Structure 1
Amino acid sequence: MKITKNSVVTIEWEIFDLDNKLIEKSPKPYSYLQGGYRGIMPMVKEQLYDKTVGDIVDIKLVPADAFGEIDEDLIFVDQLDNLPGKKDDIYVGLLLEIKDRKTGEVRLYRVTDVSDNKAVIDGNHPLAGLHIRFKAVVKDIRPATAKELKRGSV
Structure 2
Amino acid sequence: MKQAQAGDTVHVHYKGTLTDGQLFDSSEGREPLSFQLGSGMVIKGFDDGVTGMAIGEKKTINIPNMEAYGPVNEEMVIKFPKAQIPADIPLEIGSSLNMHQEGNGQTVQVIVKEVGDEFVVLDANHPLAGKDLIFELELVSIAE
Q: Post-superposition shift, 1:74?
A: 0.5
Structure 2 partner of 1:62: 64
Structure 2 partner of 1:31: 34
Q: Matched residues in 1 for 2:113 and 2:67: separation? A: 24
Q: How does 1:30-49 map to 2 (within 5 A)?
A: 30-35=33-38, 37-49=39-51
Which structure: greater helix fraction?
1
Q: Residue type of the partner of 2:82?
A: L
Structure 2 partner of 1:75: 77
Once superposed, which parts of structure 1, at least 4 consecutive aligned residues long, lie more than 6 Å away? Answer: none
Q: Write out per-residue CA displacement over residues 109-150 of structure 1, whole angstroms, 9 at most, x where no aligned residue.
A: 12223343532211111111112222221122212xxxxxxx
Q: Matched residues in 2 for 1:132 and 1:48: separation? A: 15
Structure 1 partner of 2:143: 142
Structure 1 unaligned regions, length at least 5: 144-154
CA RMSD of aligned residues (A): 2.4
**Which region of structure 1 is more displaced relative to structure 2, 124-133 or 51-60?**
51-60
In the alignment, does 2:101 pair up with 1:100? yes
Q: Post-superposition shift, 1:102?
A: 6.1
Structure 2 unaligned regions, length at least 5: none
Q: Post-superposition shift, 1:92?
A: 2.8
Q: Percentage identity across aligned positions?
A: 20
